[in-house]
Chain A
Amino acid sequence: MKVLLVFSTIVVVAFSEQLFVGDQVLRVTATDEEQIALLRELGERVELQVDFWRDPTKPGRPADLRVPFPSLQAVKIFLESHGISYSIMIEDVQQLLDEEKETMMLSRRMERSANTFSFDSYHTLDEIYSWMDTLVADHPNLVSKIQIGESYEKRPLYVLKFSTGGSGRPAIWLDTGIHSREWVTQATGVWTANKLAEDYGHDPTVTSLLDTLDIFFEIVTNPDGYAFTHSSNRLWRKTRSINAGSSCIGVDPNRNWDAGFGDSGSSSNPCSETYHGPYAHSESEVKSIVDFILGHGNVKALISIHSYSQMLMFPYGYKRTPAPDYEELNELAKNAVNDLAAVYGTEYTYGSIADTIYLAAGTTVDWAYENGVKYSYTFELRDTGRYGFLLPSSQIIPTAEETWPALLDIMVHVQQHPY
């Protein structure tokens, strides 16, 4: 922005504490040589202290004048009485200066690189959103941020896109934090996104992966819920949508998908933690993902990350019938879980959702599977109940580190088995 460039000089002055309160910048366009002469004359009237940011040169070319507040009336009368047209480009120079200073301080904060973020602590929504921008700034040729929609309370739903180019490449979808109280998942999401960005170009597996596929990563899939766990109730799970005719709030976003929607394994009671919602995809947090994945048309894998229980599961949740790809999904889960255990000895169980944990209807993973995404998995990260949702932050990085090889196993398998 030109204004920014012009500002660089003024900023120096500002820092020596000269104030420009109420000063305005007028854009003036002289229509003939006579008007040009008049403007030059205006500039020579010392008592007015008019400061040309852009000199009057030729008729038809705009000139920019900074006019100190005390001179404003006099200058405007002068211009009007001579029929010289002008517009107010900057209403209050000081205000703009203040905003600019703030932006600079913000970018200075952002300029600290993405990998010096404290991955070993839990962060607020604002901190995570801010960090995402830093990640994009640090890896502009790999990572970009997309907004796929808005939450119920109108928070943006952001997805990080990892791509080295191509057009509509096969893609992997990752999400964390769909249930807001599962804090280790959003934290693992941040660590993992950073890891993907850092390893590209250095680690052969990740490099090969991202040279072939795109990854779409939604780290805070339920931002309203997440904000609520910080402000009010640490154990909040659902969205924060208002339910008509009930004082209870929220829908379980992992029962709101159109796969066995409303079947047993979900509740029709708005007060329940597994309330499926009034209809499938009623929640904007869910609909946004549905629209994105269907619109993309080439998503080959979906991994939805939850906590806790230490499990790696695949469809179905809404019925006990084995999925057609059961053998392959089960075998891959077994390998992934073994590689996970190899890091710190953490033991995971694996299998279909219905067998391993419970019947759950309307889940993300079942919807994806029934919409052409063969490799649909859900993780339940640490622990098995000792701390449960309140996992100490000292376990964030170990959790992320051990989950990483399991994620890679799945992603590499997807890369090697195109369909």
Chain B
Amino acid sequence: MVRLPYTTALTTLFSYGLLFAFGQLRDFFRKFVDWFKAKNVKGYAPICLGLEDFYVRRLYLRIQDCFGRPIASAPDSWFDVVERTSNDNNKTLQCTSNTTRCLNLGSYNYLGFAAADEYCTPRVIESLKKYSASTCSVRVDGGTTKLHAELEELAARFVGKPAAILFGMGYVTNSAIIPCLIGKGGLIISDSLNHNSIVNGARGSGATVRVFQHNSPAHLEEVLREQIAGGQPRTHRPWKKIIVIVEGIYSMEGELCKLPEIIAVCKKYKAYTYLDEAHSIGAVGQSGRGVCELLGVDPADVDIMMGTFTKSFGSCGGYIAASKEIIQHLKQSCPAHLYATSMSPPAVQQVISAIKVILGEDGSNRGAQKLARIRENSNFFRSELKKMGFEVLGDNDSPVMPIMLYNPAKIPAFSRECLRQKVAVVTVAFPATPLLLARARICISASHTREDLMKALDVISRVGDLVGIKYFPAEPPKIAEADAEITS
């Protein structure tokens, strides 16, 4: 739920209307100009129907330099961003050989494992020398090394489930697993703001998909009741199974899922639950075990827990943790396990080392320090931004904080001005977010120091004033003498 001034809603709609009108006008003239150009391909159908790529050609390409910026170093708290130039008004971009050292507010580097780490990196290099960069095989043939077995057992123990299975890619973990769990005749109820990988997996499974209002257990109950009473479409037979899919932290809102209430609703109606902890595993919770720990939910109550290693553990790939029977079934039926190359051994070693640091099994308390630091950093940053008058979404303790921009013109303004002042932020527009709710998404890391955060706050405050995104009144700074005067 976002609150915005009414005039902002009107001006945002008007801006999009204007951009749309200009885009259509340019397309119209382009049709005339291209009428006389000879077409080389005769008889072939066009790749896109005229209307389909309108958004990309006329809106996205105009501000293309704000997205997909290449970097030239490890994504630590400070990194090198490659400068790009364009000769044809952003239609194509060329990389130069210059780089700028910027503060990194965009990488999912929640615990600071993205750069070289004193415990992880030597072990990763050792495993690279011993097992080489790739197993060159699928898991069922020759691709399961001792490391894979160790990580599966460690991941299951970390999350609190009996067994786990690994995959080489986080996106594939969702899109290849969901079709193995449910098929035609089943029902998937997914949160309206779920990630594209879940949407893809749900579509690929062949089950009926219904959507419930974001983070609303009441609406979920309504949808469940309606669907269970109605049964399958047309035949009205009872559903074979019902799976409810939610995420731990929603990456575009920074919000935590209302897990206890949703689990209670699912248990009442005997639906299975699938929790995608891509952003929350390792980043929230007293010991980093994710939203279940943070919200006090027993992991045994969630049927399937999914997570990725890309965010908090500084590696690649994903895992599914569930009961032994489900994991056994997945190992025999999931194509990502049977036909895809197994995870690269150094990447596996990185995750093993990272989990050991988090659990404190490396013999130091660096893990606990990192967890405390990310919690402090996130809460500090969020409260400071709110005090300045920005509209910041997300719950406390969540390291993801989107700052609302709304107006399409403010997206490139904010992004470019921040880059000029050596702060790299990620701005997100349509279609990753709803049309009117464009935002700049900040990801806080445990490797950000207090000075980094103060610099970031300073830059964002100045740029926010220039761009005009302080939609709420700012809290005036408390003056201790004035308070003392009034009370005396």
A complexed with B:
no
